[in-house]
């Protein structure tokens, strides 16, 4: 072991209560270098970071072994001295920028606190130091923003505040715990860029905790892969990506999207078309024409309607029988609203929707009942979308009973058969949701959706909350079930890797509008619209070797467009161009 390591951890063993969660972990980080700690939820990576900060839960968390910061042993340090280390010599950036800042204190106060504690500045000097840090992390108008509260900041801006707090006292180690997981890809790219640049300037060591191998390829010098509290693989980033030793590491690496940037942009100019042909070659199951969804905004003394948020603006597309259409875009692009509007969970302002050749009349109860039989939905959060007090068997049978499809013994038989289809033991039908893991719960939700023999399933970020390996399994399951039941999917996701694996066609959403639609290989491999290119280029690379190509990224911020429009606003007519067969690009100008 070299003496000059910024952090060296030796034989670290952590237990929470009676459970040992980390077993004999050893690693070290040199100044200015980044070690990526990779693993799925429950692998012990976040607990390790809390142990280094000595922030394990009181009275139940116990760490044994050795953690040395420079030459100082941290595990035996008295709490009073440990407080000087925290925020001063080791600082931390957390995953959730939305909840990691105190909502009732101004940004300035929170930044000032850490500087006051460790650099002992006061008054004008403190104020200057705060503004200086805000400029360093490139928060625009720091003099204005310093007086504002966290809820007026976007996720990316809040994470910049967290980075500013982390760097404010020139720490020798920064622990970044999934710092960009909650951010959109374009914001993630900007944030990672900023973090790398500031690290280059300050020479700080970084312990980067993540589950995303793309981010690892982007950021790390060394990689340590963890599983169930044990080291699985440890080596330089190049070594690990080029010759992964363990099959587990290999599966993590393979989960990254593979088409992005492989095919290159089409040089052939797209030819303008008069109108976007909606129905694709096959017999369309779902046709959406000119869908617009608006939410009124009230204001003024009497709460009159001031304008409307145009969440979805004149969107048209179709899904064929047995086909999967991916709807991708960043948060706030309106992709989830489209799914909700189809099944009447969001108010449709105008437009027509046809399911299986029949126009849906949202004012007619019979038409709605039919719609709900044909179209089912799977949500992101498998924890929240199951009733905690209802057995899973009953949850799956409920829709059949409500719609009078099957009752009694027949419903039970079908429920058991469905559980088997989604890979669960029918004997567990009388169990409650909390007895299942996240992946199993998503299987239950899929079984419940299939209970109605729907023709279309809307999957809204259905795999986004799952770990990489589980995510793969669920996608495989969805593909298998599609073949078996000939069901169509509307797959709404921000996760390009998942979209790439399951979708036949992809539509890209930007500020409520579809800007590009076409076959998967064309849209992801040969993107035509500038926004699609920017979105795809923001996706982390798949191998550290790709880092050298500096031209890969165009992190310029999008011109901010407000979705809030005055009442008399009419969207300008869209002009479309055809790039290749079935691949259409909206005119960007």
Partner 1 sequence: MGQGSLQPSASVDDGDRVTRGHVIISFLIKRLGFAAFTLFAVLTLVFLIVRILPGDPALVILGDQASPESIAALHHRLGLDQPILTQYGQFLWNALRGDLGNSMITGRSISVEIMSVLPYTIELTIASLLLGVLLGVPAGVWAAVKRNQIPDIALRLVSLIGLSLPAFVAAIILLMIFAIYLRWFPVISAGGGTDIIDRLRQMALPTLSLALIMMAYITRVTRSAMLEVLNQDFVRTARAKGASQYATIWRHALGNSLIPITTVVGLYLGILIGNSVLTEIVFSRPGLGKLILTALTQRDYTLLQGMIVIYTLMVVVVNLLTDLTYGFLDPRVQYK
Report the nearest approach of partner 1 to the CB of residue 197 (Å): 23
Nearer to partner 1, 174 or 411 (CB): 174
Q: Is 55 a binder of partner 1 (CB under 8 A)?
A: yes
Measured distance CA(579)–CA(286) in Å, rounded = 24
**Which of 513, 516, 507 minimizes the C-alpha distance to 576?**
516
Nearer to partner 1, 429 or 499 (CB): 499
Q: Is 120 a binder of partner 1 (CB under 8 A)?
A: no
Interface size with partner 1, residues (CB under 8 A)? 54
Q: Is 41 a binder of partner 1 (CB under 8 A)?
A: no
Which residue matches tokens 């126009």? 359
Report the nearest approach of partner 1 to the CB of residue 240 (Å): 29
Q: What are phi and psi of 214, to 5 degrees?
A: -65, -45
Measured distance CA(484)–CA(34) in Å, rounded = 47
**Which of 340, 323, 329 minimizes the C-alpha distance to 377?**
340
Q: Is 426 a binder of partner 1 (CB under 8 A)?
A: no
Nearer to partner 1, 272 or 299 (CB): 299
Among the listed ranges 33-41, 291-299, 382-390, 464-472, the one in contact with partner 1 (CB under 8 A) is 291-299
Name which position in 60, 125, 263, 297 contacts partner 1 (CB under 8 A). 297
Long-range contacts formed by 57-62: CB under 8 A, 24+ apart:
57/16, 60/16, 60/17, 61/14, 61/15, 61/16, 62/14, 62/15, 62/16
Q: How is the chain split among helix, strand and coil, in percent rounded to 5?
A: 35, 25, 40
Report the nearest approach of partner 1 to the CB of residue 165 (Å): 7
Q: Is 94 a binder of partner 1 (CB under 8 A)?
A: yes
Q: Is 102 a binder of partner 1 (CB under 8 A)?
A: yes
Contact 520, 504 (CB under 8 A): yes
**Which of 476, 467, 531, 527 minimizes the C-alpha distance to 495?**
467
Q: What are phi and psi of 222, to 5 degrees?
A: -125, 155
Q: Is 92 a binder of partner 1 (CB under 8 A)?
A: yes
**Which of 493, 570, 494 minimizes the C-alpha distance to 292?**
570
Q: Is 385 a binder of partner 1 (CB under 8 A)?
A: no
Nearer to partner 1, 236 or 331 (CB): 331
Taking residues 510 to 549 in sequence order and writing x for each that binds partner 1 by CB under 8 A, - otherwise, the string is: --x-------------------------------------
Name which position in 3, 18, 78, 104 contacts partner 1 (CB under 8 A). 104
Q: What are phi and psi of 75, to 5 degrees?
A: -65, -25
Residues in touch with partner 1 (CB under 8 A): 53, 55, 83-88, 91-92, 94, 96, 99-105, 113-114, 117-118, 149, 151-152, 154, 162, 165, 293, 295, 297, 299, 301, 303, 306, 309-311, 331-337, 340, 345-347, 512, 562-564
């Amino acid at each position: 072991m070299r003496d000059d390591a910024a952090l060296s951890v030796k034989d670290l063993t952590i237990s929470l209560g009676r459970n040992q969660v980390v077993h004999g972990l050893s690693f070290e980080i040199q100044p200015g270098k980044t070690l990526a700690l990779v693993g799925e939820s429950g692998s012990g990576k976040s607990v390790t970071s809390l142990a280094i900060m000595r922030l394990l839960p009181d009275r139940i968390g116990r760490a044994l072994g050795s953690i040395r910061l420079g030459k100082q042993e941290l595990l035996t340090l008295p709490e009073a001295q440990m407080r000087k280390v925290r925020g001063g010599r080791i600082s931390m950036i957390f995953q959730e920028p939305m909840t990691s800042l105190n909502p009732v204190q101004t940004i300035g106060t929170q930044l000032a606190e850490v500087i006051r504690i460790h650099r002992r500045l006061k008054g004008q000097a403190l104020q200057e130091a705060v503004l200086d840090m805000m400029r360093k992390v490139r928060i625009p108008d720091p003099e204005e923003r310093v007086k504002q509260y966290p809820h007026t900041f976007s996720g990316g801006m809040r994470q910049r505040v967290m980075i500013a707090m982390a760097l404010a006292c020139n720490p020798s180690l920064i622990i970044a715990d999934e710092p960009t997981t909650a951010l959109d890809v374009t914001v993630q790219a900007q944030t990672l860029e900023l973090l790398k640049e500031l690290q280059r300037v300050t020479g700080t060591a970084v312990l980067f905790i993540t589950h995303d191998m793309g981010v690892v390829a982007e950021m790390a010098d060394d990689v340590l892969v963890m599983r169930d509290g044990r080291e699985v693989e440890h080596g330089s980033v190049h070594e690990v990506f080029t010759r992964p030793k363990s099959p587990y590491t290999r599966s993590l690496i393979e989960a990254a999207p593979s088409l992005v940037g492989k095919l290159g942009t089409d040089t052939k100019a797209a030819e303008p078309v008069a109108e976007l042909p909606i129905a694709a070659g096959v017999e369309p199951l779902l046709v959406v024409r000119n869908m617009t969804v608006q939410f009124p905004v009230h204001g003024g003394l009497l709460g009159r309607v001031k304008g409307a948020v145009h969440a979805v603006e004149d969107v048209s597309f179709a899904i064929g029988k047995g086909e999967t259409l991916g709807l991708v875009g960043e948060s706030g692009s309106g992709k989830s609203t489209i799914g909700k509007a189809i099944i009447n969970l969001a108010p449709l302002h105008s437009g027509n929707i046809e399911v299986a050749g029949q126009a849906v009349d949202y004012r007619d109860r019979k038409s709605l009942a039919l719609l709900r039989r044909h179209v089912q939905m799977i949500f992101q959060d498998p924890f929240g979308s199951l009733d905690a007090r209802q057995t899973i068997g009953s949850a799956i049978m409920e829709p059949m009973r409500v719609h009078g499809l099957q009752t009694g013994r027949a419903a039970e038989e079908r429920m058991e058969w469905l559980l088997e289809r989604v890979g669960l033991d029918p004997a567990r039908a009388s169990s409650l949701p909390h007895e299942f893991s996240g992946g199993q719960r998503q299987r239950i939700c899929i079984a419940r959706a299939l209970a109605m023999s729907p023709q279309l399933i809307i999957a809204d970020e259905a795999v986004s909350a799952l770990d990489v390996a589980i995510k793969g399994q669920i996608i495989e399951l969805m593909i298998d079930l599609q073949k078996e039941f000939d069901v169509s999917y509307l797959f709404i996701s921000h996760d390009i890797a998942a979209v790439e694996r399951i979708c036949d066609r992809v539509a890209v959403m930007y500020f409520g509008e579809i800007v590009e639609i076409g076959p998967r290989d064309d849209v992801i491999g040969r993107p035509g619209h500038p926004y699609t290119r920017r979105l795809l280029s923001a996706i982390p690379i798949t191998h550290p070797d790709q880092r050298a190509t500096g031209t890969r990224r165009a992190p310029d911020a999008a011109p901010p467009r407000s979705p809030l429009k005055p009442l008399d606003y009419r969207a300008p007519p869209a002009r479309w161009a055809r790039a290749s067969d079935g691949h259409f690009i909206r005119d960007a100008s």
